[in-house]
Amino acid sequence: MCHFEQLIPISRPLNYNSVNLPKLNFMLSPIGLPIADDESAMRLALLQAQQAFAAGEVPVGAVVVLDGVVIGAGFNCPITTLDPSAHAEMVALRDAAKRIGNYRVTDATLYVTVEPCTMCSGLLIHSRIGRLVYGATEPKAGAVESATQVFSQPWLNHRLDLKGGVLAVECSEIMSEFFQLRRDAKKRLKQASPLPSKD
């Protein structure tokens, strides 16, 4: 699964200096933790993103908060689960829905480190989430304000409150670090196995 109920070892710690997260070699489930404000919840979402990073997945994390308490958590895991729908938002909302016994999570807030895609935006509408808070924008596939604006469509049967840019720098840095490491690894692989000569 892409959320945890116990202490989980972290195989590859994040560069904590750039993202300003606590130095832990384990992850405690955020379920049941009280949330004081948007930044506190986003920091928990960043810790979920770190789990994705450690698993080699694109580091996006999410938590769902209802009545000031975390009721769902998850991180991107489509590769490890062989599930193309296993985005952080999907995993966190599935977790929350199971915990409250209802597929509608009305009045809850979803915190996610990166602007949701079109699929996840549709999920937010169908789940009747009350509020979306995200960190970094996603210029290529963001469906809130970047590539498209799903929530502004007049035919939608649900409206939610939107807030972007919470800890945007930290949320962007973890993504940048992940993709830089991937580019570096590809470069090293290419240099290690040069193309055969045309002789």
Active site (catalytic) residues? 89
CB 117 within 8 A of CB 141: yes
Nearest CA among 17, 83, 86 for reference residue 48: 86
Burial of 135 (C-beta count, 10 Å sphere; 0-12/13-18/19+): buried
Nearest CA among 194, 177, 186 for reference residue 54: 177
Per-state percent for the chain, helix, strand, coil, to nearest 5:
40, 15, 45
